[in-house]
Amino acid sequence: MRADFPILTREINGHPLVYLDNAASTQKPRQVIDALVDFYTRINANVHRGVHTLSVEATDAYEASRERIGRFIGTDDPDEIVFVRNATEGLNLVAVCWGRENLKPGDELLASTLEHHSNLVPWQRVAQ
């Protein structure tokens, strides 16, 4: 698996790089890097924002990835797949969208003291 991650070929202080700060920035495997380079060199247009060829190709690629991920995780509805920039944004969306619709006065939310701040604050806001 290390061979899939180009950055892991580096040595730091004479030792193979071990990267454990994935919560901040996750290293990318070669397949992701190649797909990004392909997108930026062949398409690089806004999704769902135009009718020109590049925008249509970007939208098609975006929707195809939602369908593929949906199949992988077992949903038949690609609309259930929502792309976010990071876990913080995703947690905020869940808290606001799901929490405001489903939580009622008197409901309790349980959280551990080990939770990251980004998983506590959105729920505190919804609870107010």
Where do the structural domains in the chain lie, given as residue ranges? 1-42, 45-83, 87-127
Q: Which residues lie below 8 Å from residue 69, measured CB to CB, with a gap of 6+? A: 81
Please write the tens of the pLDDT for every residue from 3-13. 999 999 999 99
pLDDT, tens digit, for every residue of 49-68? 999 999 999 999 999 999 99
Structure tokens at 27: 């290293």
> Among residues of the chain, what percentage have pLDDT more than 70?
100
Confidence check: pLDDT of 24 > 80: no
Highest mean pLDDT out of 33-47, 77-91, 93-107, 114-128: 33-47
pLDDT-derived band at 93 (thresholds 50, 70, 90) equals: very high
Give which of 112, 119, 128 is closest to 95, Cα–Cα.
Answer: 119
Contact 116, 86 (CB under 8 A): no
Per-residue confidence (pLDDT) for residue 97, from 0 to 100: 93
Residue pair 84/94 in contact by the 8 Å Cβ criterion: no
What's the pLDDT at 106?
92
